[in-house]
Structure 1
Amino acid sequence: MNGQCNQTDPQRNTTAIAVWENEGGAPGRDLTGHQYGRRVEADRSWTVYHVFTGVAARVGDDDLIGLSRSQATSRMMSLNLRNAERCKQRISLPALARDASGETAVRRS
């Protein structure tokens, strides 16, 4: 019985790695930067999609559908990097809001 389980483990591992890669790879500590993944469609084209909603990503007026694997990978990584940079900027804004005396320039209620 264990022999059969061991035969399916490589398949499970392969599937898990494929899902992980298609959803943008390891997010590191910050999950907010990795919101886009890629998936292969029935016609063997690739789509970049938002991992939380499943909706195809848009850049400007273009849906990121009908792509090659390399195009989808490149655009997915670009979108995730852009999101990670925006997150870093949001986190650093409170530090930039301090004036020379060390007081916070913007007060929150």
Structure 2
Amino acid sequence: MNILRTEIDSPRRAFALGVWENEGGALPSATMDHQYGRRVEGDRSWTIYHVFTGVPARIDGEAMTGLSRADATCGMLSLNLRSLARRKERVATRPAVVRAPTDAGCQS
């Protein structure tokens, strides 16, 4: 019976894996670093899109649609690395938070 169950689940798993790969694969530990994904369209071309809005990404004013799988993968990785670099730069330039000292004599 296990053989039958495996045969039935195999196409389902293959489909799920295909969807997962089309959406950009596994997310990194911080989802804010993964703002762009890739998806295959009905015409078998690929699109790079913003994962939170679903809108196709734009680079230099051009929508990232009608791409090959390789170009979509490369572009998605490039955009995510740029986003990560900008985010790290913003965090590095933030002023440090200074907390006021607590008064040991105060009671609440």
Q: Give the TM-score range, shorter chain.
A: 0.7 to 0.9
Provide the identity percentage.
51
Unaligned 5+ residue runs, structure 2?
99-108
Structure 2 CA distance for partners of 1:41 and 1:30, relative to 1, 3 Å: same
Does the residue aligned with 2:38 lie in a helix, a strand or coil? strand
Query: How far apart, CA to CA, are the structure 1 residues paired with 2:13 and 2:85?
Result: 31
1:68-79 equivalence runs, <5 A: 68-79=68-79
Question: Deviation of residue 3 (structure 1)?
Answer: 5.0
Query: How far apart, CA to CA, are the structure 2 residues paired with 1:54 and 1:44?
Result: 18
TM-score using structure 1 length: 0.73
TM-score using structure 2 length: 0.73
Paired position in structure 1 for 2:54: 54
Preserved contact between residue 49 and residue 55 of structure 2 (Cα < 8 Å): yes
Paired position in structure 2 for 1:81: 81
1:1-109 equivalence runs, <5 A: 4-94=4-94, 97=95
Does the residue aligned with 1:49 lie in a helix, a strand or coil? strand
Does the residue aligned with 2:14 lie in a helix, a strand or coil? helix
Pairwise CA RMSD: 2.2
Q: Which residue identity does 1:85 align to in structure 2?
A: A
Query: How far apart, CA to CA, are the structure 1 residues paired with 2:93 and 2:17?
Result: 36
Does the residue aligned with 1:82 lie in a helix, a strand or coil? helix
Query: How far apart, CA to CA, are the structure 2 residues paired with 1:15 and 1:88?
Result: 36
Structure 2 CA distance for partners of 1:12 and 1:90, relative to 1, 3 Å: farther
Aligned residues: 98
Q: Which residue identity does 2:31 align to in structure 1?
A: L
Question: Deviation of residue 10 (structure 1)?
Answer: 2.3
